[in-house]
Amino acid sequence: MTGSGSSPAIEFAGVTVEAWDARAGAMRELIADVDWHVERGEHWVVIGPNGAGKTTILNAARARVLPRRGTIEILGAAPGTPGLADPLLRVGVIEATPPRFAQRMSALEVVLTQPASSAAIRGRRVSADERARAAGLLARFGGHELEDRRYGDCSRGERQRIQLARALMRDPLLLLLDEPATGLDLPGREAFLQAMSRLAAERPSLTTVAVTHHVEEIPASSTHALLLRERSVVAAGPVDAVLTDDHLAECFGVRISISRCNGRWAASIHDAVWEPATGLTHPR
């Protein structure tokens, strides 16, 4: 379901983000002149090689970095708008590396820290309804047996599913995921991606944006893709139109064959270097 809101979930117009490069003694562009439009209810994946600007895109959307030029609107407002109008209050984030918590905190207590501002640490009373909601979210993503387990004893894949439940405690309208499958083994990755697909089916008004390096980590529920190379947009739009051999070759600089089976993507690289401007140039 798309277009369910009165305003786009994300709107970048000519966005350029810069950072100081101490080695060069000058400002360096992290992304350049990016236009990007995301409707509510869409599920985007952002793909590109190292240094392409993927994480910068997410950091700009959550106001961790500010644009040097251009404008950004999230859920119809500028990030950082004063008070309850700030759209970031309705944005959930899952990092590549799950955060640390107090050693004795259980998985259920970690989920409860999101709306209760670390209530489990400070000893503030948590309502029975909040506990039931947190337990239900854990169970929905295959974590029922994790409720009483110490967060520090959970695997990385289990921690990511705990983080997903935690992010959803605030009923976000937009969920940003920065390489959430990084470091997961195969079962952990598949469990997390299945959780993302269930989430998309159950919450049609939720918009998601997931950053990844690998097409194998794209959730089957993805509707759109944004390809980045050298800080600029290569292609953006419906996932089937964007994830093509030619677009991925231009994005990664190598000749790629991509296929799809049962909603999941796989890619293989030809044994040659691909230069988009001149074509196939030389074997590896």
45 and 235 Cβ atoms separated by less than 8 Å: no
**What does the pLDDT read at residue 276?**
59
CA distance between the termini of the chain: 44
Determine which of 13-22, 57-66, 273-282 has the lowest per-residue pLDDT on average: 273-282
Task: Compute the average pLDDT of residues 65-71.
Answer: 92
If one compares 33 and 114, the residue with the highest pLDDT of the two is 33
Determine which of 37-41, 94-98, 114-118, 169-173 has the lowest per-residue pLDDT on average: 114-118
This prediction has a pTM of: 0.84
Q: Could you give the strand order of the β-sheet that contains 224-229, starting from the edge strand earlier in sequence?
A: 91-94, 174-178, 207-212, 43-47, 224-229, 232-238
Task: Compute the average pLDDT of residues 7-12.
Answer: 94
**What does the pLDDT read at residue 121?**
44
Q: What percent of the chain has pLDDT over 90?
A: 35
* DSSP-assigned beta bridge partners for residue 168: none
